[in-house]
Amino acid sequence: MGKTLAEKILSLKSNTDVRAGDIVISPVDLAFVQDTTGPLTVREFLNNGFEKPANPAKTVLFIDHAAPSPNNQLSTDHITLRDFAEKTGCVLSDAGDGVCHQLVAENIAAPGDVIVGADSHTVTAGGIGAFATGMGSSDVAVAMALGKTWFRVPETIRVVCSGKFQKHVYAKDLILHLIGLIGADGATYKALEFAGETVDNMPIADRLTIANMAVEAGAKVGLFPSDETTRNYLKAQGREDKYQPLTADSDAVYERTVNIDVSELEPTVSKPHTVDNTALAKDLKGTKIQQVAIGTCTNGRIEDFEIAASILKGKKRHPATRLLITPASRTILKQMIKKGYAETLLDAGAMILPPGCGSCLGLHQGVLGDNEACLSTANRNFKGRMGNPNSFIYLASPATAAATAITGQITDPREVL
């Protein structure tokens, strides 16, 4: 009997033959933390008598959530991470480098890797065929110390995507639609595995967007096959040697299959306060938006700013709507400048924030006021997520976000083009 991608990766990595439901002890290729989970990880590590990570070069501390720090307490947390990196020789990615998940994709993750991060959106690297999942500080501290962790091998839901996207409909609309369809707990404890002709032709940026939100359906991982597109992505980064092809076996056993014809999708929006509370953008016309945020680990890549710039070119943001742009990495910010997107967005009235998590999690850089609504390209719209429980968050694609910034109300991008 064949294997799903999850079964295949965990079998290869652990050098055992494992199936859904089995418990596996697996080496980890990368263990990482970020600045809101890392200080607790460091304390757990040191307080329990560990001195050095098993693989310092495969242990990374990212400062991205509060970058640069908005207050003295978080600044002190940053010192904790910098000191630990210096003492143990593990890798530090400091404020301004970008969001951990983007940097992992750009520089580290490879197909077949097992990656654990103290951040739920660690699933992002599934877009390049890595078994990547979020864990808490203690789990990551132990993975750092021992160089391994335990998993229950997940059952898999296969998502088969066919057809071509209509103009101005994107991967983000697909993943929001899927979560609306199966629910915010529709894949709890399970792997989501993406396949089909649409996936075969899908660029890595889109795969990362989709994998990033697998956790919003409760999934342990969101996995894509590793194919020629993956090879070309790694090649462009000078890491072609890390490439290996990976596909699920044709006789793999799935818990169920969900079929989506993407040509039927329309611009989709998640309404407050859960990601599965989806609607079509055109049906939310008239919903006033005081802040539009484009960026984050979900949609802060150069392809996303290209889309936003193409819609905002020669236009102005609505005077009652603030427009925040947060590139997911320094590399992306430099590309934005080089390609002229930064100028286009600034001319449209945008603010460009430093590479990092920006306003997404309510620490700083765009905290919402009472009764304000934000339309964001991020991945989460929980009550209070952007720093104020008396505010409202809508999630959508960069195209819908750019169109909304122009009109000041939720707008189907097909209406402004």
Partner 1 sequence: MKGKAFKFGDNISTDHIVPGRLAHLRSNLPELAKHVLEDADPTFAARVKEGDFVVGGNNFGLGSSREHAPLVIKMAGVSAVLAKSVARIFFRNAINRGLPVLICDTDKINDGDELEVDLKEGTIIDITNGNRLTFNKIPAAMLSILDEGGLMPYIKKNGDFKM
Q: What's the sign of the alpha-carbon dihedral 364, 370, 372, 378?
A: positive
Q: Residue 150: which of 275, 318, 27, 252 has the closest Cα?
A: 27
Binding residue for partner 1, selected from 12, 54, 258, 367, defined by CB under 8 A: 367
Binding residue for partner 1, selected from 2, 57, 73, 164, defined by CB under 8 A: 73
Binding residue for partner 1, selected from 52, 82, 282, 383, defined by CB under 8 A: 383
Q: Does 361 bind partner 1 (CB under 8 A)?
A: yes
Binding residue for partner 1, selected from 128, 184, 234, 246, defined by CB under 8 A: 184
Q: Does 150 bind partner 1 (CB under 8 A)?
A: yes
Please report how close the Cβ of residue 320 comes to partner 1 at its closest, in angstroms.
24
Which one of 44-52, 198-206, 236-244, 247-255 is the stretch in contact with partner 1 (CB under 8 A)?
Answer: 44-52
Residue whose CB is less far from partner 1, 145 or 260: 145
Please report how close the Cβ of residue 69 comes to partner 1 at its closest, in angstroms.
9
Site string for partner 1, 208-227 (x = CB under 8 A): -------x--x-x-------
Binding residue for partner 1, selected from 13, 168, 271, 385, defined by CB under 8 A: 385
Residue with tokens 């189907």: 412
Please report how close the Cβ of residue 30 comes to partner 1 at its closest, in angstroms.
15
Binding residue for partner 1, selected from 95, 135, 179, 402, defined by CB under 8 A: 135
Which one of 318-326, 328-336, 340-348, 378-386 is the stretch in contact with partner 1 (CB under 8 A)?
Answer: 378-386
Binding residue for partner 1, selected from 64, 119, 155, 412, defined by CB under 8 A: 119
Q: Does 85 bind partner 1 (CB under 8 A)?
A: no
Residue whose CB is less far from partner 1, 146 or 351: 146
Binding residue for partner 1, selected from 25, 57, 346, 417, defined by CB under 8 A: 25
Q: Does 66 bind partner 1 (CB under 8 A)?
A: yes
Q: Residue 230: which of 141, 85, 128, 328 has the closest Cα?
A: 128
CB 8 within 8 A of CB 37: no
Please report how close the Cβ of residue 233 comes to partner 1 at its closest, in angstroms.
26
Which one of 62-70, 168-176, 250-258, 312-320 is the stretch in contact with partner 1 (CB under 8 A)?
Answer: 62-70
Token pair of 285 as six digits: 């016309």
Residue whose CB is less far from partner 1, 204 or 293: 293
Site string for partner 1, 250-279 (x = CB under 8 A): -----------------------xx-----
Which positions touch partner 1 (CB under 8 A)?
23, 25, 36-37, 39-40, 44, 48-49, 65-66, 70-71, 73-74, 76-77, 80, 117-120, 122, 134-139, 141-142, 145-146, 148-150, 152, 184-185, 188-189, 215, 218, 220, 273-274, 361-363, 367, 380, 382-385, 387-389
